Structure 1
Amino acid sequence: MERIHVAVRSRPLSPEDARSSPWRISGNTIAHSAQSSIRFEFDRIFGQECRTSEVYETRTKHIVDSVVQGFNGTVFAYGQTNSGKTYTMRGSANEPGIIPLAVHDLFQRIEEHMDREFLVRMSYMEIYNEEINDLLVPEHRKLQIHESSEKGIFVAGLREEIVTCAEQVMDFMSFGESHRHIGETNMNLYSSRSHTIFRMVIESREKGDDNEAEDSCDAVRVSVLNLVDLAGSERAAKTGAEGVRLKEGSHINKSLMILGTVIKKLSEGIEGQGGHVPYRDSKLTRILQPALGGNSNTAIICNITLAQVHADETKSSLQFASRALRVTNCACVNEILTDAALLKRQRKEIEELRAKLRNSQSDHWGEEILNLRNTLLQSELEKERIALELEEEKKAKEQRDKRLIEQAKKIENLSSLVLNSERDDRSIAFSKDKRRVTWCPGPKARQFGIEVLGPVEEGPTSSTVRNERNMGMPPHFEELMQGSYASNDEPCANACSPSDMAKYTEDVSLPDSHALLHVTNRRKTNTMKKSDQEQFGGTAGELIIPEDAHDGNNALQSQECTVPCVVSSLSARESEAILVIKQLQDQIKLLEAEKSSIQTNLDDVLELATQQKTSFNEKYEKLQQNALAAQEQAKVANEKLSTLSATIKSNQEVAYGFLSNVLMETEGINLGMHQLRNSVESALSFIDELSQNLLMMAQGILEVKHSAHEDIRQFGSMVRDYEKLSACLMKKVCKLETEKKLLEEQSQDQQNEIDKLKSNLASCEKDIDDCTLQHELEKEGILSELLNLQKEVLTLSSSSLMKEKESIRKELDRTKTKLRETETKLKNSVQEKIKLQSEKAEAHKEVKKLKSQRTLLERDLRKRDSATVDKRHELNSTPQELAGVFDQAVQMQEEYQKLEMHVFDMEAEISSLQEALKTSVAEKDEALSKVELMTSELEDLANKLNSAELERNSLSDEIALLTKRSNSSESTLKRLEASLNSVSREKEDMGMQLTDALLDMESERSIWAAKKKEYLEASQRLNTCLDENRKLSEDLIKVRQELASCREQCRTPEEKLAHSLESNMNEKGIKFCEACKGSDQFVEKGRTIDGAVGEKELQKQLLMITEERNSLLSETQQMRLIVNEAEVLKENCDRKASALYITNHKLTH
C-alpha cells in the first residue's frame, strides 16, 4: 500500500503580482496570509525559480525505474488554465519537460538491464469534448473504451508504435502535438483545449542463452507508464470564451469536476466500504482508473499561480491536491505466467533448495561413495550369479550331447542286429529239409523267440536306451528310427507277437557303423506286391522253425523254390541299404563341417569373452579410480565448498553414468540369459545364426568404410563448392557496395532536386497570392465604377436615353453575374490552395516517418549483426572446448538447430521488413502521384485564370462600347466620358499588368516543365535502381536456394553417417551380447575340443580386433571433424547471406 505522491509547483510572477500575492511558502507548506485557517502541507513544494529537472528527480524518476521493473506508473499535471502544466510536461528546447526526461531515462534504464530483453510501444491520445482521438493517426476519431480480463481497460483502435530509442519517441510526440487541439483565449495565447495521455507499454522477459534456456523463466512483465497533460479549469468571465471555446471549456470543467469527485470518494475510503466511485462518468477517469486507487505508482504535479487575481482557483487546486494525498494505491509487478513458466520457476526453486541442501550436506560425501561401492559390489554379485547359471546350462547341454552320442550308438547296434538276423536266416534256410514245413504253434514260436533273443545280454545300455527314447531325439535321427522300426515290424509280424517284438527292440545291442553296408532298406517294403509279401512271410515262417528240418525232402524242395525270391528281395534291400548308408555318411560329413564351424565360432566367442572381461575389469578399475577421486574431492570440498561444488557434481554425474552403464549391461546380460534359455533348444540353428551374423558384421564394416570414403569425397566436393560460393558472394558484396554508393549519390541529387522543387512551389504559391490580391483590387475598382455608372444613369432623365439605360442595366447585370462567377472561382482556387498545403504537410510527415523507419531498421540490423557475431564466437569456442565429449556434441547440435530456427525467424522478420519497405515505396509513389495531380490542378487554375482574363477583356470591350454610346449623348454625359476614359486607362494599365503576369506565369511554366522532366528522369533512375535491387534480391533468393540444397546435401550424408554408426553400434552390441552368451555356453566344450589352441593365438586375435576397433573410432572421429567443418562452412554462408540481405535493405531504404 502506497499513497499518491503530490508535489506543488508555482509559476513565476511579475514583480507587481509578487508584491500583492496573499500566499506564503515555507518549506513544504503553503498558507494564506489573510486567512490563517487556509494552510496546506504536501510532499514537496517548488518555488518560482525551480527547474523541471528538480521536479522530475523528486518522484517521477523513481516511477520510471519501477516501470522498468514491472510496476505501472502514472504522472499527471493538474491546475487552472495558464498555470504552466504543458510547460511542466513538455518543456522547451532549453529546458526539457517531464515527458522527454522520462523517455530518455527509460531507455537508459533499459540499456542497463542487460539480463532482460525489452519491447517498448507508445501511443498518444487526446480527450476533446469527451471524444477520444488518436493523435498518431488523425483519421481515428471517436474511439471507444473497452475492458477485458487480459488487457484490462483499453481504448479500441488506438495505434501503438514500436519504438527503440528516445529520438523516435520524440518524433512521434511532435507529430501528435501538431494535431492536438490548441486555442487562443484572453488568458493564454496557446491554451490546451483537450486532455492528452501519452502512454508507453514496456514488455520484458529474461534474456537466456541456449544453454540456460531450461533454467530461465518464461514470465513476461508488462508495465504501463502514463504521462498526462490535463487541460486547465477556466472561468468564461476571465477567458472570454464564446461559441466553440465556451463548449470546450464546459467539457474540460466537467471532466475535471468528475476527477475531483473520484479523488474525494477515494480519500474518504468509500470504495473500501463498498460505496460507488463514479469512474464511468468521464472518459478521463475511466482511462485513469488503475492509476487512481489501483495497481499503479501515481504522482500528481499541482501547478498554481500565486497572484491575487487567481486566489480562488489556486485554493481549489490546493484542496484537490490535499485530498489526493490521502488516496492509496496497491502497486504490484505485472507478470504474465503460463503453466510452463510456473513449472520452470518451481523447478528453479527446487534446484536452488537442492543446491543449498547439497552445500549443507557436504560432509556426507563419504557415505554416498560407500553407497556407490555397495551398488558396484551388488552388480558384481549379479554377474557371478549369471556366470553360475551359464555353467549350469553348459552342464545340461553336455548331458544332452552325451544322450545324442548314446543314440548314435543305439543306431549302430540296431544296424549290426539287422545284419546278424540276415545271416541267421540264410544259415537256417540252407539247413532245412526239402519237405513242406507248416506253421509252428504258439509255444514253439515262443521258444524260438526266446532262443533267438536269448544270447543278447541285458546290461546298462538297455536302461539308458529306454530312458533316452522316452526323452526324445533330434529330428533327423527320429525319422531314421521311425523308418527302421516300421521296416522291422512288417516282416516280423508273422513271426512273433507285438510284445515279443517290443522286448526284442528294447534288449538288442546295436552293431558297428561298418555293418550298415549289408543293411536292407525296409522303408520300401510297402511298395512290394502282396504275393511277394506272402512268399516272404511264408519263407520267414519256415525259416523260424529249425526243429522240423529233419521231416523230409519235400520241405527242402519247397525251400529251394522260395530261396530265389528271398535272394532277389535281399539284393533289392541291400541296394536300398547302400543308399541309406550314403545318406548317413553325407549327414556325418555335414555334422563334422558344422563341428568345425562351431569350433571357429567358439574361438571367436572366446576372444569376445576375453575382451568383455578385460573391458569389465577396466570399467571396474575406472569406477574404483573415480570413487577414490570422489573421496579426495569430497575432502577438498569440505575446505573449499564454494569453488569445487561444480566438480563434485560432475564426478557424481560420471558415477551415475557408470552405474547406469553397469545396470544396462546387467540388463543386457539378463536378456542374454533369457535368449540363451530359448536358444539351447535349437543349438545348431543358433550356431548358423552366429556365422551369418559374423559375415554380416564383416560386410557392414566394409560398407561403413566404403560409405565413409564416399562421404569424405562428397564433403571435399562440398567444401570446394562452398569456397566457390563464398568467392562469388564476396564479389557480389563488392558490387553491391559500389552500387550502394552510386544510389546514395543519386538519392542526394534527388533530395537536392526535391528541395529545388519545394522552393519553386513556394514561389508559385506567392505568385498565386499576388494574383488573388490583384483580382480583388480589380474587383473593387470595377464595383466602384459600376456604382458611379449607376449614379450617372439615374441622373439621366431624358427619354432618349431610357433605352440605353435599360441596355446598360442589362450589361451591368451581366457583369455582376460574371463577377460572382469570378468570386466563386477565386474561392475554389483558395480552397484548392489550402488543400495543397495540407497535402504538402502530410507528405513532409510521411517523409519523416520513412526516415524514422529507416533508422529503426538500420538499428535492428546492427543489433542482429552483433547478435550473429556473438553467436558466431560462441559457436567457434564451444567445439574447441567440447571436442572430446559426445553428449556435449549432441547438445551443440541441438543448439545449432535452435540457431537455424532463429535464422529462419530472422529471415521472416527480414521479409516482413521488405514488405514494409515495399509499402513505404508504394506510399512514396502515391505521394508522387499526388504531386503530379497538384501540378495538373495548378495548370487547370492557370487555364481558369486565362479564361478570366479573356472575360475581363470582353468586359473592357463592352465598357468601351458604352463609352462610345455615352459620347454621342448629351453634354451631361461628358462627365461620364471623362470618367470612362479614366477607367479605360486604368483598365489598360491593369491589362498591361495582367500581360506581364501572364508572361511571368508562362516563364514559370517552362521552368516547371523542365523541372518536371528532371523529376521524371530521377523517377526513372529510381525505378532502374529498384529493378536492380529486385534482381539482386532474386540473386540472393537463388543463392539461398543453393545454400538450402547444400544444407540438404550435407544433412543426407550426416544422417547416413549417424544411421550407419548407430546401426553398427547396435549390431556390434547385439553380436557382442550373443558372443558373450555363446562364449559362456561353449567355453568348456571348446577347451575339450581344441586344447591345442594356445593363449598366444587368442592374444593375437584380440590385438587384431582392438586395432580394427581403434581404426573405426579414428574414422568416426574424422567424419565428425568433417561434419563440424561442414557446419562451420554453413554458418559462414548464412552469415554472408545475412550480410547481403542487410545491404539489400539498406539499398532499398
Structure 2
Amino acid sequence: MPGGESSAVRCFAKVRSSLPSEANQSDIKISGERLTAAIGGVESTYSFDGVYGPDVKTRTLFKEKCEPLLHRVVEGTNVSIVALGITGSGKSYLMNGRNEEPGIAPCMINGLFQVIERMQNKEFFVTVQYLEVMDDSLVDLLNPHTGQLKVRPSPQGGVQIQGLSALVVQDASQLLQYYEQGTRARKMGTTGARAHREKATSIFMLNIEQREPGRSNVGLTSCLTLVDLAGIECSTCNALVTCITALGQGSKTVPYRDSKLSILLQQTFGGNCLTSVFALLSPCGNDNSKTFSLSQPLRQIKHSVAININDTDKIVSNLREQISTLREKVAGDVSNKEDVIALQELVQELQLAKQQTWEERQKLSLKYEQERKTNLANQGILEWVMDSKLRDQQQIQEKINHLQKEKQQLSEEFSKKRTQVMELKEQLQKHIADFSRITESDKVSDSERKSRVDAIHKLKERLKEASDNQKALKLSLQNVVERLRSERTESSSKVVATKGSLSMEWLIEAEERQRMESENSAMVADELERMKLEIEHEKADIKLKIVDGKTYSAHEYAELEMKITELQHEKPVTSLEIQTLKQEKAKLQEAVEEMHRQHTVELEKQQMQHFQTFRNYRETFDKQKLAIEQRYRQLLDDSIQDAVFLSSRNNELVAENDALRLEVATLKDAMSRKVE
C-alpha cells in the first residue's frame, strides 16, 4: 500500500516439549536466534526472529512478541498471528492453552479490552467472526446455520465472507465465551478429531472500529486475526505454501485464487498487515523439514502497512455514483452483458457497504444471536458445533450403503454357491444310488463299475471344492455384516449423543442468566441516574427558595438532621447487604458451575462405560453366536459327508456280500457235482 511503513513478516520458532515416546530423540540445538537441527542426517542451521525452547511458557511469548501488537491494533493497524507447523507440533495448544496456562488467543482477548478501557476519549465497536476452512469448504463456528458461505470482495478493500455471522461483543468475558464455544465446536465436530484437525484451519477475526464521540462518519478500523493453521504436510495447505514461497522469492504473480484458504489469508501474507508467525517444532529435527523450508521464505515477505481509515459514507457515495453512471450506460446498450453483470455486482457491494454502519451491524448481531440460540436449541451441543458433522454423517451413510451393496452381492453369490453345493450333493447321491442298483443286478462290467466309481470320486472332489468356496463366501459375508453393524452402531451413537443434551440446556440457561443480569444492571443504573437528576432538581428548588427569602425554623432543621442521620446510618448497612449478596452470589455461582462440571464429567464417564459395557456384551454374544453357527455348519457338513461315505461303504459291502453269496453258491454246486 503506497505511503505505508515497510514491515517484514516476523517468524519465531517454538520447540515443544518431548513426549514420552520421543525421549532421548531431541537433536535441536538453540543458539540465540539460530537453530540447528539434523535433517536427513545432515546438520543445518536456520535463522529466526526469535527462538524459544520447550521450557518457555506461552505467557512469555505473549508478553514479548504479541502484547506490543495490541497497541498497533487500536491505532488502526491490521495484525495477524499465525501458528504454523506439522500435525502434533503444538499449534492448537499454543493458541488455546489450558486453564493454568492460557494460550495466545485468550491473552490477546483480555489484553485488547484492557487497552480499550484505558482509551476513554474514544468510542469502540468490536465484532467477532470465527470460521473453519477445510478442503475449500467454510464453516461458521459461532452460528451453525446451513446457508452457504461465499468469499466476496469487500467495498473497504480485501475480502469478506458473505453469510458469516458477525457478533458484537462488549467485554472480554463475552468474547472469551464465544472463542471457547467455537474452539469446542472444532474439537467435537467429528468422530476422528485428530484426522479432522490435521486438515482444518481455524480463523478467529476481531474487527475493531473506533471514532471520536459525536462523530459517526469517519474513524479508524483494524482487524486482529488469529490463525491456527492446518498441518502443513496436508494437501489443504499446498496452495498457501505455494503463495508463501512465491512471495518470499519476490514473484509478481502470486496464485492466491488457487484455494479459499489462500484468498482468506491474502491480507495476512502479502497485504496491509503486521504478521507474526510462530513456527511450532517437534524436538526431532527430521519431523520439521517442511516447517524449516517454509519459515525461511516467510521472513523474506515484505508488507506495506498503513493505518485503515473507516469512511463508510464516502464509499457509499462513490458506489452510488458508479452505479448511476453504469446504469445510464446499460440503458443505452442492454446487449452488453459485462456491463449488466458489473452493475449487479456494484449493487451488491452498495448493499454490503450500507450494512457497515454500527447501527446496522448491531441489528444484524442481534439477529445472528437469535438464530444462534435457535440453532443451538434445535441441533444440540454435538450437532451445532459445525456443519462438517453433516459431512461425516453423509460419509458414514455412504459407507453403510456401500456395505449394504457388498452384502447383497455376497449374499447372491453365497445363495448361488449353496444351490450349486445342493445340486452336487443330489448328483452324488443319484450316482451312488445308480451304482448300487446296477451292482445288485450283476449286469455291470468291471470297466463300467470303475468308470462309475471314478465319476463318484470326481463329484466328491467338486463337492468339496464348492463347499470350501461356500465357506469362504460365508466368512466374507459375516465380515461385511459385522462392519455394517459397527457402522450403524457408530452412527446411532452419534445421533443419540446429540439429542437431549443437558450441556445445551446449561448453556442456554447461563446465557439467559447473563442477559437478565445485564438488563437488571442497566435498570439499576438508569434508576440511579434518575434519582441523581431528581436530587439535583430538588437542590436547585431549595436554593431558589433561599434566594427568595425562604427561612427554616429550628424544628425543621432538627427534623432534617434526624433524617440525614438515619440515611447516613442506612447507607453503610445497605452497601454491606449488597456486598454480602454479591459474595454469596459469586460463591453460589462457583458452586453451581463446579457441580455442573463434575456432573457433566461423571455423566460422560457413565455414558462411555455403559456404552462400552454394551459393546463388550454385544461383541461376546456375536462371537459366541458365530462360533455356534460355525460349529453347527461344520457338524452338518461332517454328518453329510459321513452319510455319503457310509452309504457308499454300505453299497460296497452289499456288493461284496452278494459276490460272496454267489461264490458260495458256485462252490456248493461244484461240490454237489463231485458228490454225484
The two structures have a TM-score, normalised by structure 2, of: 0.48
TM-score by length of 1: 0.29
| Rg comparison, structure with higher value | 1
Larger helix fraction of residues: 1
Question: Which one scores higher on RCO, CA 8 angstroms, separation ≥ 6?
Answer: 2
